[in-house]
Amino acid sequence: MSKEMRIPKRSFASDNFAGVHPLVFAALEEANNGHSMAYGDDPITTEACERFRELFGQDTQTFFVFGGTGGNIVALSTLCGPGDSVVCSQWSHLHVDETAAPERAGIKLHVVPSVDAKIQPEQIVSAAGNLGVMHHAQPRVVSITQPTELGTLYSPHEIKELCRVAHEHGMLVHMDGARIANATAALGGKDVLRSFTVDAGVDVLTFGGTKNGLMYGEAVLYLTHSHPLDAICRESLARSCRYAPYARKQSTQLPSKMRFVSAQFNAVLTDSLWLELGARANSGADQLFAAVSDLPSLELVSPPPVNSLYPIVKPKDATSLREISFFWDWETTIHKVRWMTSWDTTEADVQDFATAVRSTIRHIN
């Protein structure tokens, strides 16, 4: 994207392009009154940690960070020891979009193929074949993304099965939840959140905020679930949580004025605003699908699970449409692009873009 390219008030490029929710701004302004203890020793952060305990259980340990990549590195650097590796999908953000940050931190990625960006239990079993062989990196962590980078969803049952298999082989499970609000809204709301996280056996969760109304900030959550862990897994998780404060600092992810991250989470976790915003983004994608899916060349065959669509758009059409709204190429070899809606996408935004899509494709083709 060139520096000269004009981004319209609303775009369908990424939920990272969206602004900050007004209630989040208000929370930041309120947190800006007077002085407060640094590095999380403040009442705002205490309140935010309690809100996460209400969601995931009283033993939940919360560590606020600046961004998603940093949050993932904090989590994985505590879960991995010397010679360990992380099993992840070929589509995972860890592998594709974090500029080798895990490897820079000494974390080897064990990348497995996946058509739908979802890891299968048998791939964990296959990776476990390296365990105990000193010449091979040791798979100690399985990292999944919910929803995935292709907009697909794991069901609670699928995650529970992945966790079961991982734990049976002495591996812990990390979930990249950069868009966890979208997944939760799509799967049924707040009542299902625990079913595909802590109750399914997920050990560490990176809980996203930046893509869902925050200015910046994510939370790394160490979860305690009811599933029995063998002694190795149990001690590994406990050790990881003990290391987290130091890994966060070493990874340059410790906000000194942490109250400004915590205040934003307090805003969106109040009255389930985070879920409302995720549902809004999902709804925008549903509306866009309904408005253009009858165009055969787009090859949109089913409603999107969350807030992203992946149509086939010829390069000449894409060039014309980008004058209306910038969006990213996804798989250039087959002319697949990504259209993504955000918490602030309106029905008017969708209709305007859908009209442009229909007009462009009819006019050019």
Confidence of residue 88 (pLDDT cuts 50, 70, 90): very high
Contact 76, 102 (CB under 8 A): yes
Query: Are both 267 and 343 inside the same structural domain?
Result: no
What would the pLDDT profile of 34-52 be if each residue is shown by its tens digit? Answer: 999 999 999 999 999 999 9
Q: Residue 11 domain-assigned?
A: no
Query: Are both 216 and 101 inside the same structural domain?
Result: yes
> What pLDDT shows up at residue 3?
46
Query: Are both 227 and 279 inside the same structural domain?
Result: no
C-alpha distances out from residue 59 to 5, 50, 109, 217, 361, Å: 48, 10, 29, 22, 54
Average pLDDT of 183-191?
97
Which residue among 205, 239, 271 closes a domain? 271
Buried b (16+ CB within 10 A) or exposed e, 179-192: bbbbbbbbbeeeeb
Give the residue carrying structure tokens 């410790």. Answer: 254
Average pLDDT of 225-231?
68
pLDDT greater than 60 at residue 364: no
Q: Residue 9 domain-assigned?
A: no
Query: Are both 151 and 86 inside the same structural domain?
Result: yes
Query: Are both 244 and 305 inside the same structural domain?
Result: no
pLDDT greater than 90 at residue 235: no
Tally of structural domains, the chain:
2
Which residue among 253, 271, 289 closes a domain? 271
Is the bond preceding 147 in cis, omega lying within 30 degrees of 0? yes
3-state secondary structure of 7: coil
Contact 207, 219 (CB under 8 A): yes
Query: Are both 299 and 342 inside the same structural domain?
Result: yes
Give the residue carrying structure tokens 């964990």. Answer: 124
Domain residues for the domain of 249 are 23-271
What would the pLDDT profile of 318-344 be if each residue is shown by its tens digit? Answer: 999 999 999 999 999 999 999 999 999
Copy the structure tokens of residue 344.
């602030």
With a pLDDT cut of 70, the percent of the chain lying above it is 95
Q: Residue 211 domain-assigned?
A: yes
Q: What average pLDDT is seen over the chain?
A: 94
User: Roughly what angle, to the nearest 10 degrees, separates helices 68-79 and 231-250?
Assistant: 140
Contact 290, 311 (CB under 8 A): no
Query: Are both 171 and 288 inside the same structural domain?
Result: no
Q: What is the dihedral of CA 31, 37, 40, 43, to 10 degrees?
A: -60
Q: Residue 239 domain-assigned?
A: yes
Read off the CATH number of the domain in which 151 is found.
Answer: 3.40.640.10
Read off the CATH number of the domain in which 301 is found.
Answer: 3.90.1150.10
Query: Are both 256 and 309 inside the same structural domain?
Result: no
For the chain, the C-alpha Rg in angstroms (whole number) is 21
Query: Are both 51 and 174 inside the same structural domain?
Result: yes
Query: Are both 105 and 212 inside the same structural domain?
Result: yes
Q: Residue 3 domain-assigned?
A: no
Q: What angle do CA 207, 40, 75 make, to 5 degrees?
A: 35
Task: Residue 161: count other Cβ atoms within 10 Å of its Cβ.
Answer: 17
Which residue among 248, 271, 294 closes a domain? 271
**In three state form, how does the secondary structure of 199-215 look?**
CCCCCEEEECCHHHCCC
What would the pLDDT profile of 90-125 be if each residue is shown by its tens digit? Answer: 999 999 999 999 999 999 999 999 999 999 999 999
pLDDT greater than 50 at residue 72: yes
User: Roughly what angle, to the nearest 10 degrees, separates helices 273-292 and 347-364?
Assistant: 30
Confidence of residue 225 (pLDDT cuts 50, 70, 90): confident
Q: Residue 2 domain-assigned?
A: no
Confidence of residue 5 (pLDDT cuts 50, 70, 90): low
Query: Are both 175 and 246 inside the same structural domain?
Result: yes
C-alpha distances out from residue 352 to 8, 58, 152, 288, 363, Å: 12, 46, 26, 10, 16
Q: Residue 195 domain-assigned?
A: yes
Q: Residue 16 domain-assigned?
A: no
Q: Which stretches of 162-318 are assigned E, i.e. beta strand?
A: 172-177, 204-207, 218-222, 308-309
pLDDT greater than 70 at residue 1: no
**Burial class (CB within 10 angstroms; exposed 0-12, middle 13-18, buried 19+) of 261:** buried
**DSSP letter assigned to residue 322:** T
Return all residues near 59 (Cβ < 8 A) that are at least 6 apart: 53, 223, 224
> What pLDDT shows up at residue 161?
97
Query: Are both 196 and 77 inside the same structural domain?
Result: yes
